[in-house]
């Protein structure tokens, strides 16, 4: 077959346009079946838009296919962003921030440890000056006689805190339920700022309100001067309500909406879902809020000092004046000395231990709740 016949034959494979993807095995077989005269090759056209092959003498189709495969650009996958090593400056910044965070945490732990060590060191002479047992079980406190018993103040603190919890916890929890489950967004826009503002009112202002408003009312209601546990209960219930309300609302909002929807699907009403499903599910969070509110109440000083009566005696009724550990420390620390001051530091140590036990109780309850959730999650996955 001559070159003129090859040019005139449109079906000849040598005249076809060859794309980048050429089958070398097929073209090699086709070349071997052709006569020697037709073993002519093609060369690529210089046109970048369309790659065509023209005949070049002395090149077989197999060599042409290899050349075309080599000329075909291979796509290279490159990352969207080029990774770079962290600079030395960034490493120094991160190390400095880590050190700063560690120092802050260490200072917090160190501060608590130093306070506890200082109080324990100043209260330790009770052991040989008064006697630990006599101090913890004594029912009389007289600076003139040198008798120091802590029972009246421990009992007074527990009475005041217990009564304030009885009054304040239901009010705070019901407020949290209303804000979380019932109130409209417009109502929440009014109630939530009011609760937060109440949390920021200074204790001396609340105490002054108790002296001016609550004491006369209590005096007319139960008789007496109006100073005593009942007045302290009302004042402290107002002070602990924002703390318990905020934490209880967070506990209620943490309950998944699917639990409520499942209750509705079973035919329960909204109120049945709230009382029998939502509140029991948030029980641990509400207990935590109550314990933290108790810690706030037992450490309150100024408001209690203004309304409780400050009489170092055992509890004798809701209208009889009593004293608490915090109020007694504030009243007598300014002029105390010697064994008297040691006894006051003993009251401070007892108060510190009670606060620590409350915080520890909250931590244990939270840990138990976390373990229960992990068990439920593992059971659901299994």
How much is the pLDDT for 129? 87
How much is the pLDDT for 61? 63
- The verdict on residue 109 lying in a domain is no
Stretches where the chain sits below pLDDT 50 are: 1-53, 55, 83
Query: How many independent structural domains does the chain possess?
Result: 2
- Angle, helix 151-177 to helix 229-253, in steps of 10 degrees: 40
Are 252 and 280 contacting, i.e. CB atoms less than 8 angstroms apart? no
* Strand stretches in 86-164, DSSP E: 141-142, 147-148
Same domain, 57 and 192: no
Are 298 and 355 contacting, i.e. CB atoms less than 8 angstroms apart? yes
- The verdict on residue 81 lying in a domain is no
- The verdict on residue 177 lying in a domain is yes
- The verdict on residue 317 lying in a domain is yes
Same domain, 151 and 32: no
Residue 286 makes CB contacts below 8 A (sequence gap 6+) with 173, 176, 247, 248, 251, 279
State the distance between the two ends of the chain, measured CA to CA, in whole angstroms: 78
Distance of alpha carbon 267 from the chain centroid: 34
Distance of alpha carbon 35 from the chain centroid: 85
Same domain, 42 and 156: no
Same domain, 57 and 190: no
Same domain, 145 and 258: yes
Same domain, 161 and 269: yes
- The verdict on residue 287 lying in a domain is yes
Same domain, 35 and 172: no
Q: Which of 46, 71, 96 is at the close of a domain? A: 71
Q: Which of 17, 40, 71 is at the close of a domain? A: 71
The Cα–Cα gap between 17 and 53 comes to: 6
Q: What CATH number is given to the structural domain containing 315?
A: 1.10.3720.10
Q: Which of 17, 52, 71 is at the close of a domain? A: 71
Same domain, 161 and 44: no
Same domain, 251 and 348: yes
How much is the pLDDT for 65? 60
Residue 126 makes CB contacts below 8 A (sequence gap 6+) with 132, 135, 342, 343, 345, 346
- The verdict on residue 147 lying in a domain is yes
Same domain, 57 and 170: no
How much is the pLDDT for 98? 94
- Which residues span the domain enclosing 21? 3-71
Same domain, 161 and 19: no
Are 231 and 212 contacting, i.e. CB atoms less than 8 angstroms apart? no
- The verdict on residue 117 lying in a domain is no
Contacts 24+ apart (CB under 8 A), 61-66: 61/27, 61/28, 61/30, 61/31, 62/24, 62/27, 62/28, 62/31, 64/18, 64/22, 64/27, 65/22, 65/23, 65/24, 65/27, 65/28, 66/24
- The verdict on residue 159 lying in a domain is yes
Beta bridge partners of 53: 44
3-state DSSP: the chain helix, strand, coil percent, rounded to 5?
70, 5, 25
Are 248 and 173 contacting, i.e. CB atoms less than 8 angstroms apart? yes
Same domain, 194 and 267: yes
This prediction has a pTM of 0.70
């Amino acid at each position: 077959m001559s070159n003129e016949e090859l040019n005139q034959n449109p079906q000849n494979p040598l005249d076809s346009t060859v794309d980048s993807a050429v089958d070398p095995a097929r073209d090699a077989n086709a070349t071997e079946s052709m006569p020697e005269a037709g073993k002519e090759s093609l060369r690529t056209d210089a046109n970048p838009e369309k790659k065509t092959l023209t005949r070049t003498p002395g090149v077989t189709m197999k060599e042409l296919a290899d050349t075309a495969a080599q000329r075909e650009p291979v796509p290279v996958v490159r990352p969207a962003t080029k990774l770079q090593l962290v600079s030395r400056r960034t490493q120094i910044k991160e190390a400095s921030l880590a050190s700063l965070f560690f120092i802050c945490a260490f200072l917090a732990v160190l501060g608590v440890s130093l306070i506890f060590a200082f109080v324990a060191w100043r209260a330790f002479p009770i052991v040989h000056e008064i006697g630990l047992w006599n101090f913890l079980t004594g029912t009389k406190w007289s600076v003139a006689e040198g008798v120091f018993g802590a029972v009246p103040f421990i009992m007074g603190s527990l009475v005041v805190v217990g009564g304030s919890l009885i009054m304040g916890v239901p009010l705070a929890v019901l407020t949290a339920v209303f804000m979380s489950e019932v109130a409209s967004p417009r109502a929440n826009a009014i109630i939530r700022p009011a609760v937060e503002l109440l949390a920021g009112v200074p204790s001396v202002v609340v105490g002054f309100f108790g002296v001016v408003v609550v004491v006369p009312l209590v005096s007319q209601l139960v008789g007496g001067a109006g100073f005593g546990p009942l007045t302290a209960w009302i004042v402290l219930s107002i002070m602990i309500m924002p703390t318990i309300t905020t934490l209880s609302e967070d506990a209620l909002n943490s309950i998944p909406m699917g639990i409520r929807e499942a209750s509705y699907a079973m035919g329960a009403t909204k109120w049945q879902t709230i009382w029998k499903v939502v509140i029991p599910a948030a029980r641990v969070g509400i207990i935590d809020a109550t314990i933290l509110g108790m810690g706030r109440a037992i450490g309150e000083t100024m408001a209690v000092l203004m309304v409780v009566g400050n009489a170092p005696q055992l509890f004798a009724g809701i209208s009889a004046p009593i004293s608490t550990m915090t109020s007694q420390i504030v009243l007598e620390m300014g002029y105390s000395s010697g064994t008297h001051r040691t006894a006051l530091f003993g009251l401070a140590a007892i108060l510190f231990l009670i606060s620590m036990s409350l915080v520890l109780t909250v931590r244990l309850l939270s840990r138990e709740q976390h373990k229960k959730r992990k068990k439920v999650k593992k059971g659901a996955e299994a």
